[in-house]
Each structure stands twice: as C-alpha cells, then as structure tokens.
Amino acid sequence: MLAYRHAFHAGNHADVLKHTVLALVLRYMNQKDKPYRLVDTHAGAGGYSLEGRYAQKKGEFEQGIGRLWDRNDLPEAVADYVSMVRTFNPGGRLEQYPGSPAFAQMLLRAQDQLRLFELHPTDYRILESYLGQVKGAEVKNADGFEGLKSVIPPTSRRGVVLIDPSYEGHGDYARVIATLRDGLTRFAEGVYMVWYPQVQKVEAAELPRRLEALAPKGWLHARLTVQVPDSQGFGLAGSGVFILNPPYTLHDELLKVLPYLVDVLGQYDEAEYLLEQRTS
C-alpha cells in the first residue's frame, strides 16, 4: 500500500521484537563461514529520523526503544540490539532508528549478500542512496512478494527471508501465505521470518496457524502483547514473529528476552508473551 510509511511507527514495541529476533537469527547464520543471502521483501527507507514529523506524530518509539535506551539491566540479546541502535546514533542521543536493512548491514559479513525490495517511491530513493552502492547489496523498486522468486535460492543454499508488509493493503495476509508456499518450493531449507501485527482482524488471528501448515521442517512463534486496543477495537496490541526453519538456539534465547520485554514494554497489567515451537 503506497500510502503506508513506516516512519510513523519506527522504533515502537513491534520493531523492538522484530529486530531483536532478526539480530539473533543473523548472528546464528554468522557462526558458519559459508556465505548467505538476506532478502527483505518490504525494506522501507533503511533508517528513520525520530525527530521528524512522522515519528513525532504519535511518538511510538517512546514506548519501544525509548524504554530500553538508558537501562543497565538488559538481557544479552536486547543489549546487542540496543548497541546497534546506538551505533546508528553516533552522537549518543536517540535521534535515528535503523530499519531492517541497516541492522542487516551492521551484521552481514563481506561474503554475504543483501537483496532489498521497496515499492514506495520515496522510501526506495532513500534506501537506494543509503545502500545501493554497498558491495553485495541490491536495492529494487519492486513488489517484494513478486520479487522474492527472482532471488532464491542463493547459490550458497544458505539464506534468510524477512517478510514484513504493512498488512494495510488488500490481500497482504493471503499474499504472505502464497509467497511462502512458492518460496518453500524453490528454497525449502531457507530460514523464513514473518512479522505480523496483533490487531483485531480475523486474518491476523488465523495467520500463525496457517503458517504452521507450511512448515514441515519446524517452526517457532513468538508474540509480544503490550497494550489493549482502543475503545473501537483499533490499535496495535502487540505483534508476532513466525520463523520457518528457525535456528535451534532461538527458543532458549527468546526465553530470556520475552519476559523482560513484557515487564519493560508492557503498558497494562495483562501484558504477556507467547513462545511456542515445533521441531522437525
């Protein structure tokens, strides 16, 4: 949906969950010397000003990265995530938030590859100017759902695919399923990470169970619920990540992370997390 701009939501609780998990997945991939390819189907602008009018409109980052910024009791994985956000803010103040492509650039090695898709023309131009000339990276102004088939499987047969659309467009939930089904036929051994919003839509509630059916080799599902929807049932109560073919270390790592994030990011007494998996 071309009207969607992630800048309104950059650094919120959903980004905290998504990027903490993404960092854990990529650090696991880095344990082997063999190169891999990261594909981001909805890459956004790559980085966002937290002092600009978009981020300041609702100040969502204040209830996300803002709550973690000055804490000295961070679990290891959360401390790693916050340290990368600090790297993105060399002046020491929380002024910018890195998008998924920026986290990827900080974590990928010289031998690894980055393939980024972004359909919004303004965000694409920003992303292209930021990473378009980086060795090993390709930035495409294209639909990532359609574009994924052109970049998998990588020749190394190692890869991670991040799928995190806005879910504001018509049919995004169905397109996630269709894209994954096709992707798995092309690259069954890939690690696929799907982010989704926890909102009061039937499609959102059904998505994890539909994803389970696509993952015969195993899956992991983590969800963080931090606030209640507004009186009309709107608003982002939380978010989830669903990983097909997850690293075997991820479940135990998230057991140390999710309770902490509930305590620090939770905005009501019933804030909670869910962590479940099935191994092959």
Catalytic residue numbers?
Answer: 164
What whole-number distance in Å separates Cα of residue 182 and Cα of residue 196? 19
Q: Find all residues with CB under 8 Å of 6, minimum gap 6, and list them.
A: 44, 45, 48, 99, 123, 166
DSSP 13-46: HHHHHHHHHHHHHHHHHTTSSS--EEEETT-TTS
Q: Closest Cα to residue 131, out of 143, 140, 122? A: 140
Could you tell me the two tokens for 256?
A: 């140390």
Q: Closest Cα to residue 40, out of 105, 112, 118? A: 118
Cβ-based burial of 5 (10 A; exposed 0-12, middle 13-18, buried ≥19): middle
Place of tokens 């020491």: 92
CA distances 168 to 23, 56, 147, 210, Å, are 26, 21, 19, 19
- Report the C-alpha dihedral over residues 130, 136, 139, 140, rounded to 10 degrees: 170
